[in-house]
Amino acid sequence: MLQWKDLYEECSNCTSCRLSESRTNMVFGDGNYKSDLLFVGEAPGRDEDASGVPFVGKAGKLLEKALNSLDLHREKDYYLANICKCRPENNRNPKEDEAAACLQYLRNQVALINPKIIICLGAVPTKYILGKEFKITRDRGKWVKRKGIYIMPTFHPAAILRDTNKKPLFWEDLKEIKRVKEML
């Protein structure tokens, strides 16, 4: 297991998959790595690739605003990372080999953070963290305990932008996350 500085350097220099060829910036993670709550998305989009910071585009702003209104703040209450650290072109889903190449870095981040709670934002992290038998529409909002960590799939914030009918369920999940965070 690498410590933060070495892990960051390794990710920055990574050429393990084709996504490294087109990246502007590797998007490592952001927030409080000492917090007990980790959100995992799928991969950087255009704004994240340009800035090197996860969840700064439209979807990221929606997530941050919703969490702020629950008094959960990026700089102190949670950490954000992705399955893939480089942007897939045109925001397509990461391919299996790309995710496989990158997952070791997320595992290392999880080992360093030692979170009590992991939230899978959307189908992609749900598949790679919980397994492909999990379905976001059926299983969102349900806790799964693995190796002492409470894991919950919920919608990706981009799905809320596309379909506002999902908003009440997403909000319910965020409130449940806060409730469990305060309890643990």
CA 76 to chain centre: 16
> Please, which residue, 27 or 152, has the CB nearer to ligand URA?
27
Q: Which is nearer to ligand URA, 41 or 115 (CB)?
A: 41
Residue 138 burial (CB < 10 Å; 0-12/13-18/19+)?
Answer: exposed
Interaction between residue 42 and ligand URA (CB under 6 A): yes
Closer to ligand URA at the Cβ: 44 or 153? 44
Cβ atoms of 112 and 1 closer than 8 Å: yes
Among the residues of the chain, which ranges form H helices? 4-12, 19-22, 46-51, 58-69, 96-113, 123-129, 136-139, 157-162, 167-183
Helix (H, G, I), strand (E, B) or coil at 94: coil
Smallest separation (angstroms) from ligand URA to the CB of 60: 5
**Does 60 participate in binding ligand URA (rule CB under 6 A)?**
yes
Minimal distance, residue 55 CB to ligand URA, in Å:
5
Q: At its nearest, how many Å lie between ligand URA and the CB of residue 44?
A: 5
119 forms beta bridges with 39, 152
The single residue among 17, 59, 102, 120 that binds ligand URA, judged by CB under 6 A, is 59
Q: Name the site residues for ligand URA (rule: CB under 6 A).
A: 27, 41-45, 48, 54-55, 57, 59-60, 82
